[in-house]
């Protein structure tokens, strides 16, 4: 679905990422992990063509720069780390997700309405539709922005630290939603919480020392101790309902 | 409220505004130092024979002024909507970010150094406005690209251009006299012929803005979201800056420096429509036309036979509104 070959990003003389190569598989959740400042969000900005990069980023086998802006927006939906607070209703914001498909007249087709409606149902945001986004709490805002990204109906969804502003309850339902999304979409999710990553991801890509330290199956990187080594954490395994849950805590 | 209800309100508002514009236009044609009735107006407009004096007043004085008022309202408010949208700053306007003074500076430079080329004044104003906006956007980016830096860079640029204008005015008393009138802004002595090029530019900018309104609206989400929703942000900003500068500069070329229209009208329009950018653009065009026409009418009739230039009336209305915005914004932020 998405393949990176020797990608490098620099801000002036400061090198953020070098020789980053990995690929993510279709209809799976891949967690992108790394410490603060390891270049995760910079990589998302590069995929969004907001910052220059070296190397090659391929989407569905084609260089991402070869797509038009609209084509790219119909293939990749991104929930960014910082959610703004515009003075528009949540309903209007969710409709923005259909922008890449609209003609100049701006009229919605039946398909657009269906995608918007599905996104609202999936994210359970119907009660928020008439409220202005700048009056919503951080967690609610994150939900309506996710609804906007889902209404974009792209095969690849990138979520940059989506649960930052959420309490434990909202976080759990959000993580379940991410898992449901992977039924018909490929999901790349930037995460800080290793326990949550172990819970929902099929694969993991770990950034360390400005490059990829691990890329592959998430279970494998947990059992081999890679996560513990890189993040200096300890692991505790808990069995519940026949399933093993990995809980990571700092020293 | 459902979509149907909302669209009814928007359509009703538009219908009321169109009726208000027609009424204001008729009043602007009828009222003045030489009073006439509606019948005389119609006769003067459509049957010139036997109504020579009335026809002359209508076709050579009042109709050009009305067209100038409407064009100014559309051009400046469009410029304000575009600048406020692309900078996501509700205090951005052609005056505040230096479009007017850029155009003014270029115009006065032309009048002083190359007076024989006075006929290219609209183009000089356009170039001055556009370059001034580009410099301010560039300076703002260098200073950190925050909302406040744009305003501060605009103020600095305005001061600089203002100093240049004052300096040139000092060197030549004739230029100073022309500039005094130019800086206040007004439509006295405006000719239909000099409105044709600005009208074409403003209409083209309006059409481009309407076509791009869906994309312009996404800028309120920030560059990252706009880009991931398929907007070529830098290109869109450039097109909007060109349209904002061109439409404001076109107005400056025949009306001088009219302040506050570009600042207040988009806010009134947003209050009236609650809709997207397309609705704000069309409503701003209507509200701007009505306000400037009313201000011009007020300036011509309130203190007759003395005429108060429309720029003074607009500033009298606009300054208190600007202060209310500032105080309201502070309370909201507190």
Structural domain count, chain B = 1
Q: What is the pTM of this model?
A: 0.82
Instruction: Judge whether residue B34 has pLDDT over 50.
Output: yes
- Note whether residue A85 is domain-resident: no
- Note whether residue B87 is domain-resident: yes
What is the least distance, in Å, from the CA of B218 to any CA of chain A?
A: 7
What is the least distance, in Å, from the CA of A82 to any CA of chain B?
A: 9
Task: Enumerate the residues of chain B whose CB falls inside 8 A of the CB of residue A130.
Answer: 1
- Note whether residue A97 is domain-resident: no
- Note whether residue B270 is domain-resident: yes
What pLDDT score does B207 carry? 95
- Note whether residue A143 is domain-resident: no
CA distance B269 to B280: 6
Instruction: Judge whether residue A12 has pLDDT over 70.
Output: yes
- Note whether residue B332 is domain-resident: no
Q: Which of helix, strand or coil describes residue A157?
A: strand
CA distance B184 to B191: 18
Which residue range is the domain that position B81 belongs to?
A: 3-325
Q: Do A84 and B228 touch (CB under 8 A)?
A: no
Whether A45 has its CB under 8 Å from any CB of chain B: the answer is yes
Task: Pick A204 or B57 by higher pLDDT.
Answer: A204
- Note whether residue B272 is domain-resident: yes
- Note whether residue B265 is domain-resident: yes
Task: Pick A49 or B9 by higher pLDDT.
Answer: A49
Instruction: Judge whether residue A100 has pLDDT over 60.
Output: yes
Q: Do A69 and B220 touch (CB under 8 A)?
A: no
Burial class for A244, CB neighbours closer than 10 Å (0-12, 13-18, 19+): exposed
CA distance A55 to A183: 31
Instruction: Judge whether residue B146 has pLDDT over 70.
Output: no
Over residues B150-193, the pLDDT tens digits come to: 778 888 888 899 888 888 888 887 777 766 766 777 787 788 88
Phi/psi at A24 (nearest 5 deg)?
-120, 140
CA distance A140 to A34: 26
What pLDDT score does B175 carry? 75
Residues in CB range of B150: below 8 A, 6 or more apart:
B87, B89, B92, B97, B136, B137, B140
Q: Do A76 and B211 touch (CB under 8 A)?
A: no
Query: Shortest CB distance from A73 goes to which of B211, B220, B229?
Result: B229
- Note whether residue B45 is domain-resident: yes
Over residues A59-96, the pLDDT tens digits come to: 998 999 999 999 999 999 999 988 888 888 999 999 99
Instruction: Judge whether residue B254 has pLDDT over 60.
Output: yes
Mean pLDDT of A217-237: 80
Whether B2 has its CB under 8 Å from any CB of chain A: the answer is no
What pLDDT score does A218 carry? 83
Question: What share of chain B in percent tops pLDDT 90?
Answer: 19
Run of H or E residues at A20: strand A14-24
Q: Which of helix, strand or coil describes residue B125?
A: helix
What pLDDT score does B144 carry? 67
Instruction: Judge whether residue B74 has pLDDT over 90.
Output: yes
Which residue range is the domain that position A6 belongs to?
A: 1-75+156-165+191-251
Q: Where does the pLDDT of residue A245 fall: very low under 50, low under 70, confident under 90, or very high at 90 and above?
A: confident
Residues shown for chain B: 334
Instruction: Judge whether residue B6 has pLDDT over 70.
Output: no
What pLDDT score does B50 carry? 59
- Note whether residue B23 is domain-resident: yes
Q: Where does the pLDDT of residue A35 fall: very low under 50, low under 70, confident under 90, or very high at 90 and above?
A: confident
Which domain CATH number covers B305?
1.10.3470.10
Task: Let me know: does A176 contact A143? Beta carbons within 8 Å.
Answer: no
> In a mutagenesis test of the B interface, which of A50, A51, A86 is the best target, namely the one with the most B β-carbons within 10 Å?
A86
CA distance B160 to B166: 10
Burial class for A168, CB neighbours closer than 10 Å (0-12, 13-18, 19+): exposed
Instruction: Judge whether residue A191 has pLDDT over 70.
Output: yes
Partner residues linked to A29 by β-bridges: A187
Structural domain count, chain A = 1
Instruction: Judge whether residue A151 has pLDDT over 90.
Output: yes
For the record, the structure tokens of B73 come out as 């309202």
- Note whether residue A49 is domain-resident: yes
What pLDDT score does B325 carry? 62
What pLDDT score does B101 carry? 81
Look over chain B and give the mean of its residue pLDDT values, rounded to a whole number: 81
- Note whether residue A197 is domain-resident: yes
Task: Let me know: does B325 contact B270? Beta carbons within 8 Å.
Answer: no
Burial class for A120, CB neighbours closer than 10 Å (0-12, 13-18, 19+): buried
Which domain CATH number covers A203?
3.40.50.300
Highest mean pLDDT, choosing among A80-84, B204-208, B277-281: B204-208
Instruction: Judge whether residue B1 has pLDDT over 50.
Output: no
CA distance B281 to B293: 18
Instruction: Judge whether residue B329 has pLDDT over 60.
Output: no
Task: Enumerate the residues of chain A whose CB falls inside 8 A of the CB of residue B229.
Answer: 73, 96-97, 99-100, 152
Instruction: Judge whether residue B334 has pLDDT over 60.
Output: no
- Note whether residue A50 is domain-resident: yes
What pLDDT score does A92 carry? 92
Task: Let me know: does A74 contact A100? Beta carbons within 8 Å.
Answer: yes
- Note whether residue A25 is domain-resident: yes
- Note whether residue A185 is domain-resident: no
Closest chain B residue to the Cα of A48, Cα to Cα:
B228
Instruction: Judge whether residue A44 has pLDDT over 70.
Output: yes
What pLDDT score does B326 carry? 62
Torsion (CA) A192, A193, A198, A204 in degrees, nearest 10:
0
- Note whether residue B64 is domain-resident: yes
CA distance A132 to B281: 21
What count of Cα atoms within 13 Å lies in the side-chain half-sphere of residue B166? 6
Q: Do A92 and B276 touch (CB under 8 A)?
A: yes
What does B202-259 look like in DSSP terms, one character per residue?
HHHHHHHHHHHHHHHHHGGG-HHHHHHTT--HHHHHHHHHHHHHHHHHHHHHHH----
Q: Where does the pLDDT of residue A171 fall: very low under 50, low under 70, confident under 90, or very high at 90 and above?
A: confident
What pLDDT score does A75 carry? 94
Task: Pick B196 or B328 by higher pLDDT.
Answer: B196
């Amino acid at each position: 679905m998405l393949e990176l070959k020797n990608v490098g990003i620099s801000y002036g003389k400061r090198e953020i990422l070098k020789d980053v190569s990995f690929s993510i598989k279709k209809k799976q959740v891949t967690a992108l992990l790394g410490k603060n400042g390891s270049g995760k969000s910079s990589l998302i900005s590069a995929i969004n063509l907001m910052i220059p990069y070296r190397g090659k980023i391929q989407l569905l086998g084609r260089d991402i720069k070869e797509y038009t802006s609209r084509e790219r927006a119909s293939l990749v939906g991104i929930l960014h780390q910082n959610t703004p607070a515009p003075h528009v209703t949540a309903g209007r914001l969710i409709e923005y997700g259909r922008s890449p498909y609209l003609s100049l007249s701006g009229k919605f087709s039946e398909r657009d309405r269906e995608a918007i409606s599905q996104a609202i149902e999936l994210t359970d945001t119907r009660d928020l539709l008439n409220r202005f986004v700048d009056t919503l709490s951080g967690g609610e805002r994150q939900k309506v922005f996710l609804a906007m990204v889902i209404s974009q109906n792209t095969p690849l969804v990138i979520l940059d630290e989506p649960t930052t502003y959420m309490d434990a309850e909202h976080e759990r339902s959000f993580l379940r939603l991410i898992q449901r999304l992977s039924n018909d979409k490929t999901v790349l999710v930037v995460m800080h919480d290793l326990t949550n990553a172990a819970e929902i991801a099929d694969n993991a890509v770990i950034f360390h020392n400005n490059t990829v330290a691990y890329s592959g199956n998430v279970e494998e990187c947990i059992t081999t101790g890679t996560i513990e080594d890189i993040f200096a954490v300890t692991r505790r395994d808990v069995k519940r309902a026949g399933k093993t849950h990995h809980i990571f805590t700092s020293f | 409220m459902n979509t149907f209800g909302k669209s009814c309100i928007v359509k009703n508002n538009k219908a009321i505004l169109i009726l208000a514009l027609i009424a204001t236009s008729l009043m602007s044609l009828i009222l003045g130092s030489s009073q006439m009735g509606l019948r005389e107006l119609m006769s003067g407009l459509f049957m010139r024979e036997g109504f020579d004096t009335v026809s002359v007043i209508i076709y050579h004085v009042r109709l050009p002024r009305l067209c100038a008022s409407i064009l100014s309202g559309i051009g400046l408010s469009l410029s304000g909507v575009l600048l406020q949208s692309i900078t996501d700053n509700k205090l951005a306007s052609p005056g505040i970010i230096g479009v007017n003074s850029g155009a003014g500076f270029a115009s006065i430079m032309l009048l002083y150094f190359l007076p024989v080329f006075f006929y290219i004044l609209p183009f000089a104003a356009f170039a001055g406005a556009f370059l001034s906006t580009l410099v301010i956007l560039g300076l703002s980016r260098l200073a950190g690209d925050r909302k406040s830096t744009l305003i501060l860079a605009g103020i600095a640029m305005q001061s600089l251009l203002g100093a240049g204008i004052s300096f040139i005015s000092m060197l030549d008393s004739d230029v100073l006299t022309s500039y005094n009138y130019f800086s206040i802004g007004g439509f006295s002595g405006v000719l239909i012929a000099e409105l044709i090029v600005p009208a074409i530019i403003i209409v083209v900018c309006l059409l481009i803005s309407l076509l791009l309104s869906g994309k312009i609206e996404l800028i309120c989400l920030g560059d990252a979201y706009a880009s991931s929703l398929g907007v070529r942000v830098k290109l869109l900003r450039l097109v909007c800056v060109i349209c904002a500068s061109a439409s404001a500069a076109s107005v400056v070329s025949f009306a001088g420096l009219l302040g506050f229209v570009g600042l207040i009208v988009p806010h009134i329009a947003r209050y009236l429509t609650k809709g997207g950018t397309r609705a704000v653009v069309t409503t701003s065009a209507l509200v701007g036309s009505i306000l400037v026409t009313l201000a011009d009418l007020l300036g011509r009739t309130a203190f007759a036979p003395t005429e108060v230039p429309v720029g003074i009336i607009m500033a009298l209305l606009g300054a208190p509104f600007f202060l209310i915005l500032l105080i309201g914004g502070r309370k909201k932020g507190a």
